Every structure is written in C-alpha cells, then in structure tokens.
Chains A and B, each alone.
Chain A
C-alpha cells in the first residue's frame, strides 16, 4: 500500500538575501486540509519561505513539490496557490472589482467562470460596499480583505497567508479565522505566517517555528497548549540568540 503524497513538500530549501542566508535547508511537508502556523521572530525567514512557496522568489537550491510535481520546473502550478503577501500589495489605480477580475484572469479564470467566482468571493468577504472604490484609498484592514479575496478567488489547493491578521480589528480577525477553517474543511491546505501565538493555537492544527532561516520546531498544535508553545518559542528565540552571542 502506498502512502498518499503530501500536497506540498519542501526539500532542503535554501535562499540567501542581502548576502546572508535567509532560509537554510528547510524541509517540511503539508497535507490537504491541514493548517500550518509558521512562527518566528522578525527576520526568521518566514516571508522568504512563503515567497518561494508562492513562486515569487526562486530558491538558491532545494526543491518544492506540489501534488508530486516539481514546482520550479512547472511554474504553471502557481494556479494551485493563493497567496496573500505581507501588507497586501495592490495597484492603487484599480478598483476593488478590477483587482478581482485581474487576479482571476492571471490565474486562468475566463468568461463564464470569472463572474460567478468574483460574485461569490465578494459576498463571502462582504466586499460589496467597496466594489467601486479605488484600492489606493482603502484602509489597511480593507486592503487585507481584498488581498485575501484575490488569494481565494480561483479556489486554490494551497493558501499561503503572510501575516493576514495585521491591521484587522477583532471582528475581522474572527471572520478571518472562520474563512481559514472553512477553506481547510474543503480540503485546502493553509500556511499561515504570524507573530501571534494566539493566532496559531486558535486556528492551526500544526505549528512550525523558524529561526534564522532554519526549522527549529514542528509539532501538532493539539500536542501543546498555549503556555507550552510560548515557552518553546521563547526558548528557541532567546537561547539561539545567546548561543550566537557566545
């Protein structure tokens, strides 16, 4: 009997940024429907890792497999991924509706499939009052919601969220968590990068802690409570810092 292959497999991923290693020999796998929380201090390599997974950045070495296929050899597999980068970059001259249409087209949605997909995501993320508004005048929270809508529009198999709760109010954070859980329930794998330990314990079923580009901890969230996760996180962040100083 063969084991089902993971949706995402990172193998010995390495990437330098500004002359220093940002990600070092990172290996991990992710199954369908799983929610992985990626924790780490600033500069730990979270955003670099997510950019590589999303296809926006090429690793120096190592491999990324999506559904068993080499993502670096087949960039068209990007259509399986929905990516919300940190601070949700947008084209300021385009309206919310135009953003959705553009993202849909860029990810292969055409004609009859595009409009229902846009309508559904607008309804789901309550974007109707913002539809005609230019992205350049949106608040940071509204930008995050639009960025999330763009990432979800083409029904990706893997959702990559880089600090999605930034600038959201508590109500919006609660609805973000609901969306993440709903996506995972339909089989979408989710990677969620965050600074907030509470975010991980609230929605993730697995947590990976990155430090100085390397994977230092990878465990199911059910195995650890909030306090224990906090201890592990600070142990890694502080002790590694001390070791470096020594």
Chain B
C-alpha cells in the first residue's frame, strides 16, 4: 500500500512541477471566476422579478449550479466546470502513463515489485487529488456568498457530488487512454474524443432520430443532469462508479500485458 502512495507522490510532484497543470488551473479558474461574476450580475439584475415568482429560481439555480455546468442552463457563457473538464482532464492525464512509456521509466515502476493495479491506482489518486483541488477552488466561489444569500445546501451538495463523480470518471478514462497510448498526444486525443462521445451520445442519437432509454442511460450527461437538479439516486452514482471501475481495470490489464509482451 505504501509503495502505491509513493507512486501517488511521484505523480503529484510531476503534475505540480509541470507548467501545463498550473497554466490550465490558472486559465480555467480565471474563466470560471469571470463566469461567476456574470452569473451573479445576471442574478442581481433579475432578483426583484424572481422574488415575486412563487418557487422561482434562486441563487443556487442561477449562480451555483450553472457555474459547475451549463448542461441545464446554456445561458450567458457556454463553459462551466464540466465543459472545461472535458478538455482539461485529457491534458492533465495524457502523460501519466504514456509519458512514462516515452521516458522509459515505466520499467522502473515494474521493477519496484508493484502490481500494475497499484501503479494505476497510485497515478489515478494523484490525478483525483488535483481535480478535487480544482473543484474545491471552483465551489468556493458561490460558497463565499453563502452567508449573504439563500443557498439551497442540499441541491448544491448534490450538484457538487455530480461534478466530483464526473471529474473522477473523466480522470479514469484519461488514465486508461494514457495506458493504451504510445504517446501523450494520442492519449489526450483519445480521452477527449471518448469524453465528448460519452457526454453527448444521447444528443447525437436524438439528432439521428433515435431516442430510447438505453441511449440515454449510456450518456454521462443524463446521470449528471439528475444530480445537478438535486436528485441523488443510487443508479446514477453506480453508473459513474462502474465507468470508473471499467476504465481502471482496462488500464491495469494494459500494463500487465505490457510486462508480458514488452
């Protein structure tokens, strides 16, 4: 177990000394802060009108949740944290295993006696910690005004859980793509394509005239939408956990095969 954490520390160190992770964090947080200000301005402009509506949308619906995702409200700016994550997570995970393959350092990890599953989990944990920090900094924006407004804590917690699961899923897909790819750029492209496909598979099918339960069940957006609306159901949570488990299992099998096949 402790050697697995050694991999996590190694990966975290690599993430934090690379300018890419910092640049991504700075740019995306700046964009999200700008989005927060615009959403807040819009909310304040319409506050009196909205207060007159019985059961009308409040601070959580118009500022908190739209900051995390524009799935429910396309609105003022197209990119919430979810949409940014589709691009950022592949860039973050692309080097985790494919980079080791390019450097020739993957055999050093095998030669430490670590099982492939522990190498994959160690790397995944590091990515997850970075993504959680990113999420915490984003969530801190609407929370900073929580004392002066009425925040629906339950709904916001459900939306945050949805984002956490979405980031964890995209991270696992990124790690799997990095395990299979020979070069980081290929890993990033594959993870971006898979993430987008998983997110929009139902929209594409609906455009093609197919709209059934199975296609909707396959789509990440279906399960995220429910959580963004404040509905936490075990089937949605299990869907995310299943995708994570499948992606990490595939990555583990690929590393094990690497050792067998060279």
Contacts and interface: CB of A to CB of B under 8 A. Distances in A.
Interface string B77-88: 000000000000
Interface stretch (A98-106, A119-127, A188-196, A236-244): A98-106
B3 A105 contact: yes
A91 B14 contact: yes
B62 to A, nearest CB: 42
B111 A105 contact: no
A105 B6 CA distance: 6
Given A75-B113, A108-B3, A51 B107 contact: yes
Interface in B81-127: 103-105, 107-115
Nearest to A134: B17
Interface stretch (A54-62, A167-175, A222-230): A54-62
Contacts of A93: 13-14, 17-18
B108 A85 contact: yes
Contact of B10 (A56, A83, A91): A91
B9 interface: yes
A54 B2 CA distance: 21
A85 B104 contact: yes
B105 A102 contact: no
Interface in A90-121: 90-94, 98, 102-103, 105-108, 110
B260 A75 contact: no
B10 A102 contact: yes
Given A89-B107, A92-B103, A75 B2 contact: no
B216 to A, nearest CB: 42
B152 to A, nearest CB: 43
Nearest to A94: B13
A91 B96 CA distance: 11
Given A102-B6, A102-B10, A90 B111 contact: no
A149 B128 CA distance: 32
B45 interface: no
Interface residues of B, number: 26
B43 to A, nearest CB: 42
A56 B111 contact: yes
Interface of A: 17, 51, 54-58, 75-79, 81, 83, 85, 87, 89-94, 98, 102-103, 105-108, 110
B18 A75 contact: no
Contact of B9 (A54, A83, A102): A102
Interface in B225-262: 259-260, 262
Given A98-B13, A102-B6, A105-B3, A56 B103 contact: no
Contacts of A56: 107-108, 110-111, 259
Contacts of A51: 107
A103 B3 CA distance: 10
Contacts of A75: 113-115
Contact of B113 (A17, A57, A79, A98): A79
B259 A83 contact: no
Contacts of A79: 112-113
Counting chain A CB atoms within 10 Å of each CB, the highest count among B5, B17, B111 belongs to B111
A85 B262 contact: no
Contacts of B115: 75
Nearest to B100: A91
B23 to A, nearest CB: 15
The 10 tightest CB contacts between A and B, nearest first, are A78-B113, A89-B104, A105-B6, A56-B107, A106-B112, A56-B111, A54-B111, A56-B110, A75-B113, A93-B17
A25 B112 CA distance: 25
A89 B108 contact: yes
A163 to B, nearest CB: 14
Contacts of B6: 102, 105-106
Given A85-B107, A91-B14, 9 more contacts: A55-B110, A55-B113, A57-B107, A77-B113, A81-B111, A89-B107, A98-B13, A105-B9, A106-B3
8 contacts: A57-B110, A79-B112, A81-B111, A87-B104, A89-B103, A89-B108, A93-B18, A107-B112
Nearest to B113: A78
B113 A89 contact: no
A93 B105 CA distance: 12
A90 B108 CA distance: 9
Interface in B1-43: 2-3, 5-7, 9-10, 13-14, 17-18
A32 to B, nearest CB: 20
B231 to A, nearest CB: 42
A57 B262 contact: yes
B2 A105 contact: yes
